[in-house]
Amino acid sequence: MNKTNVKPAEGKLGVLVVGLGAVTSTFMTGVLMARKGLAKPVGSMTQYDKIRVGKGADKKYLKYDEIVPIAKLDDIVFGAWDVYPANAYESAINAEVLKEKDINPVKDELEKIVPMKAAFDHNYAKRLDGDNVKTVKDRWDMTEQIREDIRRFKKETGVDRVVVLWAASTEVYVPVDEKVHGTLAALEAAMKADDKEHIAPSMCYAYAALSECCPFIMGAPNTTVDIPAMWELSEKTGMPIAGKDFKTGQTLVKSGFAPIIGTRCLGLSGWFSTNILGNRDGLVLDEPANFRTKEVSKLSTLESILVPEEQPDLYTDYYHKVRINYYPPRNDNKEGWDNIDIFGWMGYPMQIKINFLCRDSILAAPLCLDLVLLSDLAARAGRHGIQRFLSFFLKSPMHDYTKGEVPVNHLFQQYVMLKNAIREMGGYEADEEID
């Protein structure tokens, strides 16, 4: 390995997940199975991807852990919170994502992952009615109790570092309100005043994680850490944050396909995306207020790739619509349809149809692994605040809008940002330009 200033990945890495549902039980089962050599972590960049470092005659293609110190799968210790008391084994069985034969070899380990009581507010996810929930006085107390959970987890397991990953249900949409979310002092005051409208439970998890010096990742589209107050906290505690919303199926396709249209200078008049899914995520998103959060996140993808101001002839006024339909028979096996109305030479219309029969949690699990390992890496590299190099994994990448930053949604530009960050942390030149 080249000379790097990143602290080594010594000791155990605690991974505390908020939400022990389909995604996280699939993630945990896969990691435990891979550890035993019984499954392959397919789809994980940290386990497979190779990056070029150096140029010309010095050029080499190396895996991430040959460039920077990355925690090993063997060193991961899982913990969780959930509204329902099912342990990780029961949750994996209930989710019906994986076959029992792919879960049973690690049954004993999964059964030991029993969720701690959730910091939960029914008004934020009306379709959930579990009772494994903390009794709290106010939002501040909620935060304090989560901090206590993290400290206890560290003590009981002896882990050296902890990363907190939100992969719980999507909460109802909380628009950013500068008065409450604009500064850390205002956020803390609102928590103490028990402002339930502006302080989502997810904000309590994020506040607790950052205060306990744990990186925090937002895998759902919630605005949780996408607010200046949390950026201030992450600077104060020197912790990385990443979000939001795992980029798994339809949006991955969109952020990879839109560049074809843009690069080829074809026009776009409309993009309609719809899908059916029947898991608990779909059930929660069936509630309009929860869907709104997802919709805002999904809609943001195209606008920064096919930019009307840059190419008014090609991208002015295209119609972009996103729909999600709860349809129980499909469970986790989501089916997505994209209809893309494009136009070519002299404005003549054409259509592209994409039909993606995917598996939601199978696509999300490797993202959980990569986001966790790379956030832990970022913390050891002394990086704090918004980690834009992780945009590659996220549907609605965080960016400092107060400084006029724009999100990067273009998949291949995001990949350059990822590669450059790994190179830089590995002591190599971050030598690729984003075009």
Ligand X SMILES: NC(=O)c1ccc[n+]([C@@H]2O[C@H](COP(=O)([O-])OP(=O)(O)OC[C@H]3O[C@@H](n4cnc5c(N)ncnc54)[C@H](O)[C@@H]3O)[C@@H](O)[C@H]2O)c1
* Four-point Cα dihedral 61, 66, 70, 75, nearest 10: 120
Considering the complex, what minimum distance in angstroms separates the CB of residue 288 from ligand X?
15
Q: What are the angstrom distances between the C-alpha of 45 and each of 22, 85, 312?
A: 21, 32, 36
Between 162 and 261, name the residue whose CB sits nearer to ligand X. Answer: 162
- Shortest reach from residue 110's CB to ligand X, in Å: 15
Cβ nearer to ligand X, comparing 119 with 416: 119
Instruction: Kindly tell me which of 67 and 204 has the beta carbon lying closer to ligand X.
Output: 204
* Burial zone of 256 (CB within 10 Å; 0-12 exposed, 13-18 middle, 19+ buried): middle
Q: Do residues 74 and 10 touch, judged by C-beta distance below 8 A?
A: no
Distance between start and end Cα atoms, the chain: 29
Integer Cα distance of 201 and 187 in angstroms: 13
Dist CA 315 CA 278 (whole Å): 34
| CA 409 to the chain's CA centroid | 14
Q: Identify whether the C-beta of residue 128 lies closer than 8 Å to the C-beta of residue 136.
A: no
Which tokens sit at 193? Answer: 């005043």
CB neighbourhood size of 3 (10 A): 7
Contact 72, 9 (CB under 8 A): yes
**Residue closest to 386 by CA, chosen among 216, 207, 173, 198:** 216
Whole-angstrom distance, CA of residue 252 vs CA of residue 260: 13
Three-state SS for 30? helix
CA gap 378, 206 in Å, rounded: 17
C-beta atoms surrounding 111 within 10 Å: 12
Helix (H) or strand (E) holding 369: helix 360-380
Closest residue to ligand X in the complex (CB):
21
Amino acid at site 120: F
Residue closer to ligand X by CB (options 82, 424) is: 82
Binding site for ligand X (CB under 6 A): 18-23, 81-84, 118-120, 125, 128, 130, 167-170, 201, 219-220, 245-246, 248-249, 279-281, 360-361, 363-364
- According to DSSP H, which parts of 183-249 are helical? 184-192, 201-211, 228-237
Distance CA 214, CA 101 (A): 34
Which H helix or E strand runs over 416?
A: helix 411-425
**169 vs 409 by CB, closer to ligand X:** 169
In a 3-state reduction of DSSP, which class is residue 322? strand
